[in-house]
Every structure is written in C-alpha cells, then in structure tokens.
Amino acid sequence: MSSSLGKPPQSFLDRIHVADVSACFSPRLQRRQRQSQMRFTRDTLAEVREELTNYLNYLQQASDNPRALIPYRRLLGLVENAERALNHLEETLEAGKLLPKSVKVPRRIFGSEERGEWYFGDDEGFKRFEYAEQIRRRLINLMKERDPMRNELQVVKGRMDALSKEYARLDRIYQRRKRPRYFWRVVLFLLLVSVGMFVGAAFTMGIVQFALIGFGVALLLLILPLWRTWRRDLRKRDADLKALRDQIKEVSAEGRKLQMRYLPLNDMCEEMRAEYAELRRGFA
C-alpha cells in the first residue's frame, strides 16, 4: 500500500488536504480572507507539486518498476487539477460571476504497487480494498495448495482412463477365447485335416501312406495338449484381469481420497473468488 522506496502516496495526499482547496470556494469568506486562503492554498499545492515532481524523477532513476510511479503520477494530476480549479475560481471572481463548485479532494489513495492499481476514495473504500486484498492473499495461498492436488487428480484420472481401456481390451479378448466354440473350432479343423490325411492314406501306398497316417495321428494327439494350453491361457488371462481390476480399485481409491481433500478446498477457492470479484467490482 506504500512505496517501497520511502514516501507513501498517502503522505502526499495528506499534504494536499493541508492546502484546504475547498476553503477557497466557501461563500462565507470575505474578499481578503479568500485571497489569503487562495495564496496559502496555491503555495502549499506548489510545494507538493514540486516535491512530487522531484520524487517521480528520483523513482524513475532508483526503481526499475514503472508501476511504482503510478500513484504519484495520479497525485500529481490531482494537484494540477486543483490548481486549474483555483485558476477558474479566480477568473470567475474577476468576471463577477457566481462561485463555481469546489474541486473534491479524495480522502484516501490506496492500491497495489505489485499490480499497479491505485484508487482514490474514502475511509470506507480504503477498508473495503484492504479486505479485498486480504481475501486475494488468502485465495492465492489456497490456490497454491489446491492446484497441485488438481494436477495430481488429472494424473490419477489419466491412469484410470488408461487402465480402464486396457481392461476393456483384455476382457474382450478373454470373453472371445473363453467361449467353448473357440476351442472346438480349432479341434474341428484338426479333425478335418486328420480325416483328410486318413482318406488320402487309403488311396496311397508305401512311405506316403505311412506319412499321412502319422501326420493324422499326430494332429489328433495335439487335441489334448491344445485343450490344456487353452485352459492354462484362460486361467492366465483371468488372473491378469483380476490383477488389473485390483489395480483399478487401488487407483480409484486413491482418486477418491484425493478428491475428498480437493473438493472442499476448491469450493473454498470458488467462494473466495466470487467474494473477491464482488468486492473488486466497486473499484473497476
């Protein structure tokens, strides 16, 4: 709320208040009283303007943050506006016209040097801005705690999606191979080939006949090992699916625990964000 290099903006605004610009516009003042008041006000504003100008030059050289200059430039503009109002008042009096409205000097200047946002206002506005800043700082701290959880949730969700897709793929293969017709189609194929070889052997003689019969018998003998291999493959696939289901349960449980911590924190962040937006609406 104040300059990190020395003079807070409010100290200059307090000096502007000492000049008492509004007193120059009072209809109760006599001519000499008004002249005296205007002389005092002009001198005081001139001192503040000179000091502000020098301080701005100092800041430009001492600070590499252009946002640090913003409140002092606004104050300088306020001084110049007050001086123009005094010039207009003097011209109005010389012309014998009615007194113009007094220039309003705000009670407070407040804002954030970090973001370069500065506002003029009253004590109520100052307190509201301070409260909004407290909410903002709390929100930032909560978001620092929440955001890693959200990233972790995204990672868990990605793992769940990958595991679920892999489980669905393996389960489709398992269900297809689990059907008895899958095995019997292979058996039927072997039987047909064996029968073909036996039929071929019936029309041949010698070594070819023995070879065909041998191949036919060998194919028939393969049926039992194939059955055992089929059952072993099913057991292995079933075990793999069970292990994958257990892994999915573990990741799901991890995700639920993380979500139980994340959701209340996220709700708090959203509530604070809405409250902060509402408080800041008056300073837009």
Residue position matching structure tokens 């991890």: 254
Q: What is the mean pLDDT of residues 238-265?
A: 93
The more confidently predicted of residues 150 and 183 is 150
The more confidently predicted of residues 212 and 39 is 39
Longest dimension (CA), the chain: 146
pLDDT of residue 174: 82
pLDDT of residue 283: 75
pLDDT cut 90: percent of the chain above it:
60
pLDDT tens digits, residue range 64-113? 888 889 999 999 999 999 999 999 999 999 998 888 988 899 999 999 88
- Does residue 3 have a pLDDT over 60? no
Q: Which two tokens stand for residue 242?
A: 């069970």
Amino acid occupying residue 154: Q
State the alpha helices, DSSP H only, in the chain. Answer: 9-19, 31-62, 70-94, 123-178, 180-202, 206-221, 223-281
Dist. CA 64–CA 266, nearest whole Å: 37
Tally of CA atoms within 13 A in the half-sphere of 186 that contains its CB:
14
CA-only gyration radius of the chain, Å: 44
Question: What pTM was estimated for this model as a whole?
Answer: 0.67
pLDDT of residue 232: 76
Dist. CA 271–CA 140, nearest whole Å: 13
Amino acid occupying residue 122: D
Which of 47-51, 179-183, 216-220 has the largest mean confidence?
47-51
pLDDT of residue 222: 62
Please give the sequence-ordered ranges of beta strands (E in DSSP) within 30-161, or none if there are none.
108-112, 117-121
Q: What is the mean pLDDT of residues 23-45?
A: 94
- Does residue 158 have a pLDDT over 60? yes
**Residue 147 and residue 133 in contact, taking contact as beta carbons nearer than 8 Å:** no
pLDDT tens digits, residue range 256-265? 999 999 999 9
pLDDT of residue 216: 58
Distance from the Cα of residue 132 to its chain's centroid: 19
Dist. CA 186–CA 165, nearest whole Å: 29
Residues 6 or more apart whose CB falls under 8 angstroms from that of 197 comprise 212, 213, 215, 216, 219
Q: Which two tokens stand for residue 154?
A: 């995204």
